[in-house]
Structure 1
Amino acid sequence: MSAPNILLTRIDNRLIHGQVGVTWVNHLGANLIVVANDKVSTDEVQQNLMDMVLPDVIQSRYFSLQKTIDVIHKASPRQKIFLVVIDVHDALALKEGGVPIDLLNIGNMHYEEGKKQISSTVSLDEKDIAAFKRLGELGVKLDLRRVPSEKGQNILDLF
């Protein structure tokens, strides 16, 4: 069985919004967005809102983390997948569950109490940092970048 054609996995606490729907999809040449998120996988209102920002030619799937792990290897090679998760812990769960994530783009991780801002769009706490370090150990390339035109940074260099 061939590996699924995952072009990029992105962490974005807003999941799909205008900028992601258009900029990243066009940049990557993706034709399928998979949102892996337990909550959104059962929330049709949220799914419909996200679908509204996507061009018609782009398909979308909203799966729980476990379902993503279970079905991603059944993807057709013609499916050029842009995988979107809400945070680093979900990305790590997918990677450890066998989803072949080689490149992880870190887009937005918003500020919350107890988190430290490391870039204009990313704030982390110790647990987040530990998860990124683990992903690094698992061989995932970690690219902090809001939009494709920006120069990416290895997030591990910012701790």
Structure 2
Amino acid sequence: MSKIVLTRVDSRLIHGQVVTKWLQQSGANEILVVSDELEQDEFLQSIYLMAAPPGVEVIIKGIESVKGYWKEEAESKKTKVLFLVPDLPTLKAMVEEEIVTEGIQVGGLGGGPNRKNVVKNINLSEEDVAILEALLDRSIHVYFQAIPEENPVPIQKLIEKYKTL
């Protein structure tokens, strides 16, 4: 059975740090991207597929299609998976489906309306904070870490900062 070796929330999905640092750090040999938007865009898919290094399979699924994939196809494989989602609502769906059950790394959440910058690449909304607090209530370890050389920061600290802004 495939095993998720790193779950990462990053609005940029597959980019330089993921390819050069997190794949090596995690030992993953497969990248599973869950994004409804990306699943519908064949052109963007081709760009993400080209971004992966040789020997690393990239699978792109939407929220609904990943459920069947994870229960059927991933069961028969023996891969180490870097599991990428672009945002916290997508992550929430994966936790509710019990696909993601442990350690979650938040690496990048972009800006936008009703979002507050709490550190480097992390901008949170009220909805994001509610999702993060619900994950913590489930005793899921959630932390911020942009690159492997940095120490992980407990997500509680970012939630506290959000509430003071």
Would you say same fold, with TM above 0.5?
Answer: yes
Question: Contact (CA 8 Å) 1:9, 1:83: kept in 2 or not?
Answer: yes
Read off the aligned partner of 1:73 and give its amino acid letter.
K
- Equivalent of 1:60, from 58, 61, 69? 58
Task: Give CA-to-partner distance per residue, 1:13-68, whole Å, 9 cap, x none.
Answer: 11111221221111111011000011111212111111222111100100011121
Question: Contact (CA 8 Å) 1:35, 1:85: kept in 2 or not?
Answer: yes
Question: Contact (CA 8 Å) 1:33, 1:84: kept in 2 or not?
Answer: yes
Equivalent residue number for residue 49 of structure 1: 47
User: Displacement of 1:77 after TM fit?
Assistant: 5.5
Report the TM-score when normalising by structure 1. 0.92
Query: Is 2:24 aligned against 1:6?
Result: no
Query: Partners in 2 of 1:135 and 1:52 — Cα distance?
Result: 33
Equivalent residue number for residue 111 of structure 1: 111
Q: What secondary structure, in the 3-state scheme, does the structure 2 residue paired with 1:35 have? A: strand
Once the two structures are superposed, the pairs formed by residues 1-159 of structure 1 within 5 Å of their partners are 4-74=2-72, 75=74, 76=76, 78-159=78-159
User: Displacement of 1:130 after TM fit?
Assistant: 0.2
Read off the aligned partner of 1:52 and give its amino acid letter.
M
Report the TM-score when normalising by structure 2. 0.89
Q: Which moved more, 1:134-143 or 1:119-128?
A: 134-143
Question: Contact (CA 8 Å) 2:7, 2:100: kept in 1 or not?
Answer: no
Question: Contact (CA 8 Å) 2:10, 2:107: kept in 1 or not?
Answer: yes
5+ residue gaps, structure 1, are none
Query: Partners in 1 of 2:148 and 2:48 — Cα distance?
Result: 20
Query: Partners in 2 of 1:118 and 1:101 — Cα distance?
Result: 25
Q: What secondary structure, in the 3-state scheme, does the structure 2 residue paired with 1:118 have? A: strand
CA gap 1:73/1:139 in 2 versus in 1, 3 angstroms: farther
Query: Partners in 1 of 2:31 and 2:60 — Cα distance?
Result: 8
Higher relative helix content: 2
Q: What fraction of aligned residue pairs are identical, expressed as a percent?
A: 27
